[in-house]
Each structure stands twice: as structure tokens, then as C-alpha cells.
Amino acid sequence: MRALLPRTLRGQIIALIVVALAIAQALTLWLFVDQRALAVRSALAIEAADRAGSTARLLEDAPQDLRSEILQAASSSLVRFTIGPTPLVTGETGNAPNWIERRIRAVLATDDPRAVRVDLHTEQPRPPPRAGPAPGQGQMHGMGQMRAPPGQPPVSTTALDLSIALADGSWLNVTSRFRDPPYQWVWSEAVPFALTAGLLAIVLWFALARLTGPLRSLAGAADRLGRGEDVEPIAPTGPEEMRRLALSFNDMQARLDRFVRERTQLLGALGHDLRSPLTALRVRAEMVDDEETRERMIATIEEMREMVEATLAFSRGMAMNEPVETVSLAGFIGGLAREFDETGLAVTTGEIDDAELRIRPLSMRRALRNLIENAVRYGGRAAVSAKKQNGSIVIRIDDEGPGIDARELERVFEPFVRLETSRSRETGGVGLGLSIARAAVIAHGGGITLENHPEGGLRVTVTLPREQTA
């Protein structure tokens, strides 16, 4: 069912309304056909009752020798009149609406409480007999064997049997057979339905533009915001609900920008303000006479200075002042690999798909450089590949190192966390490289994960959203 619906909201709403209209039209036609069949049966029953009452009056007023001619003239292929000593409809078998009996008595125009018996029932279709009709039963045989036209299914027959008591004690027996009208669709209704559905679809197509247009604008703005781009406030247009949604989105974006900006400024100011005290401490440490104490103090101050510089770099990585550009994935990865090749680092490139990315080049280059340098430092060499996958760009960086304990795969992204004992006994900076890389990737609307490769080594997977075309 889901695969049959259009992909857009506007198309789905129009499709569902047209389907609902078609179902309503089909129910209306079905009810119309059923009411039509009921009206036809009622009309035939009225006609048979009127003819029976008129024939009974005529037989009582006419001479006995004319009765056979009257019966023959009143009979037809659907109605047969006979006179007999006993009623065709007995008191036990009579079953019909009271209005038929009342109609016959009204036609008789007499207050005589004579017996009038009516039986109305439905006869199911029967196969035609192989032998011919018995003598004298040709007309009734034709009535009892009413069949549907060739190519149509058998139809049921409505039987109306009447027995009216005559003044001389005999009974006028009336047998009427008429076929129920076949259930058939009124195909002439298809053209008005098609015109109505088409007009409704056109009106809805333009009317829903006031809803889907702002939704598309909101989706595009949310996508750009997720990639860290600067997004202009959305103009509140469309229905009241869409206006409120646009205003809420604008407020949310402003709060997010203010929060990130204040946090980044606070972090940068803290790192900057620590430089002066550290410089003063370094000068005073140089004046210490004891050489061993002086060397330890200077080493500690240098470590603190590196942490401050790393903090400033981290704050710069979180800042989003760099403009977003559309770059070629192959050209961007290839250029980064050439930079490492020029420095003599063991970096190779694998399969790289042809795609476009909207990124902040300096921020993303800094993030990937940190990841590749870590792979080379702790794994000996790095292999970089990139491919398109499910509407995203997946960049993989594999090394040949010992990997990381599975319990530490997420913790290494925390600031100032170092795992030298698990990967290398050499100091790997101050533990902000992966934090800076993840901050930059998340600012682009992507994600980053670490996993130990089954064949050995660590794999870094960076997922970035692809450039969306309108």
C-alpha cells in the first residue's frame, strides 16, 4: 500500500481524497442500483395487482361464455390468468406485503370481504428442461424458465401469485413472473466522476502549495542548519500552524547560535587568559637555582601551555565563522592525501566515489588531518576511502595498529582523554584531537564512529550528508 502512494505529502493527500471520493461514488451507485431494482419490482407488482383486480371485476360482469377470451386477452408472457375451483395461494403459503392486497381491494371497489390471497417470493434460476413442455403448458413453461441473456450470469425471478375469490365461488388465479433487473453500473456516471476528481485534484494541488511550500522551506533550512550552515530566518507563510512552526524554528535556531557562540567565546577567552600567567610562571621558573626543580617546573608549565593551545584550537574548531563551500569529494580527499605524501607520512587512498559535498573546507580538513595523523602515529600507516551510501558520504580511515579496547571506543572522544597505554607509550598530545574532529563533523550534520577491524587495526568512519539538489 505504501509503495502505491506518491512520495510527496501533496500527492498523498490528493490520492487519498480521490480514493475516498471513488469509494463514496461506488457506494452511491450501489445504493442507486439497489433502489432502482426495488422500484422496478414495486412497479411490476402494482401493475400485476391492478390487472388482477380489473380482470376479476370484468369476469364477474361478463357472460360465462366470454371468460375464456377475457382470460386469454389478459394473459401475457409474464402474467397468466386462470379460473379454478381451488385457490392457487392457500392460507398457509400466502406471504406478501399488505399493501398489495389493499391495492387489489381498492381496484375491486367493493366492501365485500371476499378472500384475496397474495404470495410474493423469489425463485432461484433453474436449468432448462431437456424435453419440451407438456401440452397446454407452453406459456407457463416460458414464464418459469426465464433466463439471463447469453454471457450474463443466471438471475433470480420474482414470483407473484394471486388468488381472488369470485362471486360464483370459483377462484381467479394469477401467476406473474418477472426477472429482477440485473445489477449493472451506470457507466454514464464515470465521466462526471472523472471530471469531478480531476477538478478536485487540480484545486487541491494549488491549495496544498500553501502547506507544502513552507514545509519544503523548513526542511531545507533544517538540513542546512544540521550541516552547520548559516540559515536565514524563515519567512512565516501559509496557514497559522505553519506560521507558528516557522517562528518556532527561527527561535530555536537563534537560541542554538547564541548558545554555541557563548560557549565558544568562553572557552577561547579562558584559554587566552591563561597564557599570561603561564608566561609569568615560565619566567619565574627560569630563576630557580635548583636545576632539577627548575626542569620539572618548566616541563609542567610547558604541558599546561600545550593544553591551553589545544583548548584554543578546540574552540576554533567549534567556531562556525568559515563560509560553507561545495567541493568535489575526490578532489578534497586527494588534495589532503597529497599533503601527507609531501611530508613523508604513509597515507594511501582507496576507492573514492565522485560526489559533491557542502562543507567548511578548513574545518573539515583539520578534522580529517587529526584522524589521519592519529592513524599514522598509532597504526603505522593510514588508508583512506570514500563512497556514496544511502544519501550520505562515508569516509573510512583504516590503520594497522593494535586497535582500542571496545570499552574505550566512545570515551576517547571526550576532551583530554588519552589512551597511550592501550595504543602507544608515547604521549599523543593532550587528548583533544578526536574531540576537535568530532566537533567539526557534528557541526557539518554528520557523525563519527570507531571500530576495531576484524583483520586488525582501527577503523574510523565519518558520515557526512550529501549535497542535496532541489
Per residue in 385-439, pLDDT tens?
A: 999 988 889 999 999 888 888 888 888 887 767 665 544 434 455 567 788 888 8
Name the pairing type of β-strands 347-352 and 382-389: parallel
Q: What is the pLDDT of residue 427?
A: 47
Place of cell 386469454: 72
179 within 8 A of 157, measured Cβ to Cβ:
yes
User: What CATH code is carried by the domain that includes residue 264?
Assistant: 1.10.287.130
- What pLDDT, on the 0 to 100 scale, is given for residue 107? 81
Q: What is the mean pLDDT of the chain?
A: 77
Q: Regarding predicted confidence, which is higher, 235 or 121?
A: 235
In a domain? residue 147: no
Q: How confident is the model at residue 227 (pLDDT cuts 50, 70, 90)?
A: low
Residues 307 and 338 in one domain: no
Q: What are phi and psi of 398, to 5 degrees?
A: -110, 140
Tell me, what amino acid is at 416? F
Residue 333 grid cell: 580527499
Query: For residues 171 and 55, is the Cβ–Cβ distance under 8 A?
Result: no
Instruction: Please give the tally of structural domains in the chain.
Output: 3
Specify whether 42 is located in the same domain as 74.
Answer: yes
CA 276 to chain centre: 61
Higher pLDDT among residues 86 and 322, named by residue:
86
Q: What is the pLDDT of residue 294?
A: 83
CATH of the domain at 328: 3.30.565.10
Query: Mean per-residue pLDDT for 272-290?
Result: 81
Question: Residue 323 corresponds to which amino acid?
Answer: P
Q: Which of 321, 349, 376 is the last residue of a domain?
A: 321
Q: Is the pLDDT of residue 352 over 70?
A: yes
Claim to verify: residue 160 and residue 84 sit in the same structural domain? yes
Q: Is 305 helix (H, G, I), strand (E, B) or coil?
A: helix
Distance CA 27, CA 358 (A): 54
Where residue 187 falls among pLDDT bands split at 50, 70, 90?
Answer: low
Average pLDDT over residues 241-265: 83
Residue tagged 500500500 (cell numbers): 1
Is residue 112 situated within a structural domain? yes
Per-residue pLDDT of 47-59, as tens digits, reads 888 888 888 888 8
- Containing 80, the helix (H) or strand (E) segment is strand 79-84
Q: What is the mean pLDDT of residues 276-297?
A: 83
Note whether residue 129 is domain-resident: no
Name residue 399's beta-bridge partners: 382
Among the candidates 273, 303, 321, a domain finishes at 321
> What mean pLDDT do residues 127-137 have?
43
**What is the predicted pLDDT for the residue at 17?**
85
Beta strands (DSSP E) in 193-240 are none
Q: How far apart are CA 452 and CA 460, in angstroms?
A: 9
| Highest mean pLDDT, choosing among 94-108, 188-202, 304-318, 362-376 | 362-376
pLDDT value at position 302? Answer: 81
Alpha carbon distance 330, 324 (integer Å): 18
Min mean pLDDT across 19-23, 187-191, 192-196 is at 187-191
Say if residue 432 is exposed, middle or buried (CB neighbours under 10 Å; 0-12, 13-18, 19+): buried
Q: What is the pLDDT of residue 147?
A: 47
Contact predicate 403/453, CB 8 Å: yes
Domain match, 228 and 346 both: no
In-domain check, residue 131: no
| Residue 447 shares a structural domain with residue 375 | yes
Identify whether residues 419 and 296 lie together within a single domain: no
Residues 50 and 192 in one domain: yes
- Give the residue numbers spanning the domain of 234: 216-321
In whole angstroms, what is the distance from residue 1 CA to residue 21 CA? 18
What contacts 363, CB < 8 A, 6 or more positions away? 317, 320, 322, 440, 443, 444
Q: Is residue 470 part of a domain?
A: no
Residue 395, in any domain of the structure: yes
Q: Do 343 and 304 sit in the same domain of this protein? A: no
Could you tell me the pLDDT band of residue 140, with boundaries at 50, 70 and 90?
very low
pLDDT category of residue 152 using cuts at 50, 70 and 90: very low
Residue where one domain finishes, among candidates 291, 321, 351: 321
3-state secondary structure of 130: coil
Contact call for residues 219 and 186 (beta carbons, < 8 A): no
User: Which grid cell is 306?
Assistant: 600545550
Q: Over the stretch 14-33, which tens digit does the pLDDT of each residue have?
A: 888 888 888 887 777 766 66
- Domain shared by 250 and 313, yes or no: yes
Inside any domain, residue 136: no
| 112, 122, 402, 409, 414 from 398: Cα distances, Å | 110, 83, 12, 15, 21
- Residue 182: per-residue pLDDT: 57
Q: What is the pLDDT of residue 145?
A: 44
Report the pLDDT value the prediction gives residue 395, as an integer from 0 to 100. 93
Do residues 53 and 182 share a domain? yes
Torsion of CA 199, 201, 206, 208, to 10 degrees: 140
Task: Give pLDDT tens digits for 155-177.
Answer: 557 788 888 888 888 888 988 87
Question: What's the CA gap between 236 and 214, in Å, rounded?
Answer: 8
Q: For residue 256, tell me if it sits in a domain.
A: yes
Output the pLDDT for position 319. Answer: 54
Rounded mean pLDDT, 113-120: 80
C-alpha distance from residue 248 to each of 236, 245, 255 (Å): 10, 5, 11
Residue with cell 480514493: 19
**More confidently predicted of 51 and 185:** 51
Measured between alpha carbons, how far apart are the two ends of the chain, in Å?
27
Pair (447, 352) in one structural domain: yes
Taking the C-alpha atoms of residue 435 and residue 451, their distance in angstroms, rounded to an integer, is 16
Residue 356 and residue 267 share a domain: no
pLDDT tops 70 at residue 370: yes
